[in-house]
Structure 1
Amino acid sequence: MKLALFLLLGVGGAYSLKICSFNIQSFGESKLSKPTVLNIILESITRCDLMLVMEIKDVKGEAFPQLMTYLNSRYRGRKPEYSYVISERLGRKSYKEQYAFIYRQRSVSVKAVYQYPDTQSEDVDAFAREPFAVWFSSPTTEIKDLVIIPIHTAPEAAVKEIDELYDVYHNVSQHWQSQNFIIMGDFNAACGYVPKREWRNIRLRLDSEFLWLTNDKLDTSVKHSTNCAYDRVVLRGEKMIQAVSADSVEVYDFKQAFGLTETEALAVSDHFPLCFTVNAARRSG
């Protein structure tokens, strides 16, 4: 009887939510065609309930749907385990990328999407790849909804773009009535791109209402010769901050996990996935 009750609570009860971001360097058909690379990408995704994927560069728009087909073929259910939402191709001139969110359908759902217009009168076209914000419903966690604002900065403009995320937050928070915000992605926020002296010019860092969940020493780069905290997670909202423990932050080192050489690992990406966990809702009683 107790076992049955436990299982019932497990099925309909609270679950934590593992959120990840992954810059899959120059993702397209080439990486899908390499079985070892594809397997590592799929394993990286299945470790997460919700993953931001960056640097999708496939012009034909066919590679990402194929990735989802491979991903869901690992599961046998009445409906696909994972779904996704993807931005339009973003960028200046001919070079363009897409953001995408892959999410486990039993854990979260999409409430709305919003492409940041980047038309602030005082600073038009601040971003090379404008944030594509998504509002998720998260019924089993301490917070019931959350907004994720993704960013992949242009390395040469990292200081400016990270600072401009302050304006993006205020724009999105006026657009949607949510109190729970995550700003995450490849900030290029380390090693020559953001010198220490520049942090005092970045509003997102100066405003104490924003919690930088990841510190300046967290290496997310694959190369042994670099030690760079490129990828970051920033939280906004009292309940959002309370729902995430700093101890949950992890860099998924697929090089070590799969026993790869550096060359083999770099065939997957020059970034490791960055992950953290939103706490499950507390049961009453």
Structure 2
Amino acid sequence: MFRNRGMRSWQIGRKSQKAIRSGLGFGWMFIAALGLVVSGCDLVEDFEVPGPMGPGTLGESGKSGKVVDTSAGNDGGRSRTMTSMRPSDGAQLSMVPARTQQTILIASFNIQAFGVKKVSDPVVVDRIVKILRLFDVVAIQEVRATDQTVLPQLVQMVNSQGAKYDFILGPRLGRTDSKEQYCYVYDTNRILSSPAASYTVNDTADLLHREPLVGRFATRVPAGYPPFTFSLMNIHTDPGEVKQELPVMHTVLHAVREYEWTMAREDDVLMMGDLNAAPSKFGNLAKVPGIYWVISDQPTNTRRTELYDNILFDRGPTNEFMGKAGVLDMATVFGITLEEALKVSDHNPIWAEFSIVEQSSAYSTPGSNAVIANQGVVYPAR
């Protein structure tokens, strides 16, 4: 238990939450709960990160296309600072980097209202498949299908040319009849994942419409090299409740980071997805020590008018980041009209490039149980 003087404590409580992992040809379910007490920041909320359980289900490589590239222009994450770091405001139209033996591409894609209609449209689903094949891991938001065979159908199409993608699918979430699921699609030839280590954050106070889905991953590397291990936190804020949900995002991130360090000694935690907000609206999330977002000033919606989607992490421990990130503009990539691109989604995919090899942190040594305290927040570190 971590307690800071002058801070009120909140509990990652004992209410269990389930997440389902169903593979192509197999499936299983884990239900677990864990009670922890950690320190809060400015708010008193209850978020529970349950013990290991399995969301999800199964998932190729593709050619790159033109994107808006927001390559970072700061210190490359080699020095530890206690202030927020931001990527360079400079951007250019460039290609999604090819996946190499030294790097992986992690992406986020809100496939607006993905369901039977889109998977049944040969033109639309072909474009989605081509996008997924560009990346090693993709965090997907807005899976709306009640038919739970839709994701297996999509991944089978991704694998139709011999690839071996898998997916992890979370439970259906939402306060209304219109529910959504989070999903991870990943290339098993390059990425490993443990279904037992995937879980849905338990929001005991019901502060979020759709609680994040967390998944743990590791790269496949040659013998003798340490794999890059990382945890992804897939999030989609409710567009009608952004003002209520964004102020607690730093608390949710804190809870997940504490849990991931406690349970897996993992300090590379990436929050990614559709936040429905530009960094200027992040509030307390932007004040998290060392926080870094890869998209600074480029629109991420298909109409090119708003910055909604992002990937955030602490660049101190996560110095596997290669400094390259961007927005894949579907209309440009496919040479189609805006109206045609909108049939795929009202969001463009975003991505970031990382080393496949685990890097030692610049500010402490791997495996230590040190903590860094700043601005009233306690975080585990390497």
Q: C-alpha separation between the residues in 2 aligned to 1:260 and 1:184? A: 27
Task: Work out whether residues 142 and 278 of structure 1, in 8 Å CA contact, stay in contact via their aligned partners in 2.
Answer: no
Q: Structure 2 CA distance, aligned partners of 1:273 and 1:236?
A: 21
1:131-146 equivalences in 2 (<5 Å):
131-140=212-221, 144-146=228-230
Residues 33-52 of structure 1: pairs in structure 2 closer than 5 A: 33-52=120-139
Match for residue 349 of structure 2? Answer: 273
Structure 1 partner of 2:34: none
- Assess if the C-alpha contact under 8 Å between 2:320 and 2:358 holds in 1: no
Runs of 5+ in structure 2 lacking a partner?
1-99, 360-382
Q: What RMSD, in angstroms, separates the aligned Cα atoms of the two structures?
A: 2.1
Alignment-mate amino acid for residue 110 of structure 1: S
Between the aligned partners of 2:289 and 2:115, the Cα distance in structure 1 is: 39
Residue 185 (structure 2) aligns with: 102
| Residue 128 (structure 1) aligns with | 209
Tell me if 1:205 matches 2:292. no
Shift of 1:237: 5.5
CA distance change for structure 1 residues 279 and 144 in 2, over 3 Å: closer, same or farther? closer
Work out the CA distance in 1 between the residues paired with 2:114 and 2:288: 34
2:156 aligns with one of 69, 77, 89: 69
Separation in structure 2 between the aligned mates of residue 231 and residue 174 of structure 1, nearest angstrom: 24
The CA deviation string for residues 71-95 of structure 1, in whole angstroms up to 9 with x for no partner, is 11121xxxx5101111000111212
Taking the aligned partners of 2:255 and 2:174, their CA distance within structure 1 comes to 20
With over 3 angstroms needed to count, the CA separation of the structure-2 counterparts of 1:151 and 1:136, relative to structure 1, is: same
Q: Which amino acid aligns with 1:63?
A: V
Quote the residue 2:335 is aligned against: 259
Tell me by how many angstroms 1:239 deviates: 2.7
Structure 1 residue 17: Cα displacement: 1.0
Give, in whole Å, the separation in 1 of the partners of 2:242 and 2:292. Answer: 19
Identity of aligned residues (%): 28
Match of 2:172 in 1: 89
How far 1:174 sits from its partner (Å)? 2.9
- The TM-score, its normalising length taken from structure 2, stands at 0.62
Match of residue 86 from structure 2: none
| CA distance in structure 2 between the partners assigned to 1:35 and 1:100 by the alignment | 21
Indicate conservation of the 8 Å contact 2:113/2:142, yes or no: yes
Does structure 2 retain, via aligned residues, the 8 Å contact 1:249–1:276? yes
More strand, by proportion: 2
For the Cα contact (< 8 Å) 1:14–1:281, is it kept in 2? no
* Contact 2:230/2:269 (8 A) holds in 1: yes
Q: 1:142 to 1:232 in 2, by over 3 A?
A: farther
Judged with a 3 Å threshold, the aligned counterparts in structure 2 of structure 1 residues 74 and 14 are, in CA distance, closer, same or farther, namely closer
Cross-structure match for 2:233? 149
CA contact (8 A) 2:191 2:218 kept: yes
Tell me the CA shift for residue 14 of structure 1.
5.1
More helix by share: 1
1:239-258 → structure 2 map (5 Å cutoff): 239-240=317-318, 242-246=319-323, 248-258=324-334
Name the residue aligned to 1:3: none
Q: Which amino acid aligns with 2:161?
A: R
Count the aligned residue pairs. Answer: 251
TM-score (ref. length: structure 1): 0.82
1:32-77 superposed Cα distances (whole Å, 9 cap, x missing partner): 11111111100100000000111000012121111011111121xx
Maintained 8 Å contact 2:315/2:321: no
Question: Using the alignment, how far apart are the partners of 1:142 and 1:228 within structure 2?
Answer: 39
Deviations 1:222-249 (A, max 9, x none): 11xx521110111125231x21133x11
Equivalent position of 2:275 in the other structure: 187
CA contact (8 A) 1:179 1:237 kept: no
Deviations 1:138-180 (A, max 9, x none): 2439762101111111112224323322222222223222111
Asked whether the 8 Å contact 1:28–1:58 carries over to 2, the reply is yes
Gaps of 5+ in 1: 1-12
